[in-house]
Amino acid sequence: MDAFTENVHQYQDRIYGFACAYLKDDAAAKDVTQDVFIRYWNHYDEIDDDRAIAWLMRVTRNACIDLLRKRQTRRKSVTVDSENLHRAPDGEANPHADAEATDFETRLDAALAQVDEPYRSVVTMRELHNMKYKEISDALDMPINTVKVYIHRGRKKLRHQLAEVLDYEST
């Protein structure tokens, strides 16, 4: 029980962060994180501690994909972006810098949403969550060379999408 609790504390922020980046929804990311750790509890005896983060990331990615598929079939007409609600203004905040950062995040999210799978997952894991190639390889159950190729292609696709988003918004 102590080892399980320790692993949960060690990995919960990474799992939540990945789910939040993938879903763009704070509440849904919390739900997915909770579901992932319930699954982890149910399979804890079957998972080596060395491969725990890979298993958790793979389960998180699959849970996010499942949730997005459910949303698509329901065709919700109202969406709420609650991702930024937890951010409180800083006492010495620079409104101009904050606006630029928020603007860039919005553009990055829009561009990343246009990148197909598996490139989006690989780039998100590498660039937003600083995962190592081996961790991504284990999490997605693909050879490390394939991960490297997908990261290269994903970055290229993301650059292309960012250029399109920036050109579209400037006209």
In this predicted structure, what is the pLDDT of residue 147? 92
Average pLDDT over residues 39-63: 89
Q: How far apart are CA 143 and CA 27, in angstroms?
A: 33
In this predicted structure, what is the pLDDT of residue 105? 77
pLDDT band at 30; cut points 50, 70, 90: very high
Higher pLDDT among residues 162 and 60, named by residue: 60
Q: Are 29 and 20 in contact (CB under 8 A)?
A: yes
In this predicted structure, what is the pLDDT of residue 76? 44
Q: How far apart are CA 109 and CA 84, in angstroms?
A: 13
Q: How far apart are CA 64 and CA 118, in angstroms?
A: 13
What pLDDT digit, counting tens, does each position of 71-91 carry? 777 654 444 455 554 555 555
What pLDDT digit, counting tens, does each position of 88-146 carry? 555 555 666 667 667 777 777 788 888 888 898 898 888 888 888 988 888 888 899 99
Helix-, strand-, coil-residue percentages of the chain, each rounded to 5: 80, 0, 20
Residue 47 has pLDDT above 50, yes or no: yes
Could you tell me how many residues make up the chain?
171
Q: What is the largest CA-CA distance in the chain?
A: 57
Q: Which residues fall within 8 angstroms of residue 57, CB to CB, at 6 or more apart?
A: 14, 15, 18, 125, 131, 135, 136, 138, 139, 140
Report which of 124, 118, 139, 151 is spatially closest to residue 11, judged by C-alpha positions. Answer: 139
Angle, alpha carbons 126-6-88 (nearest 5°): 60
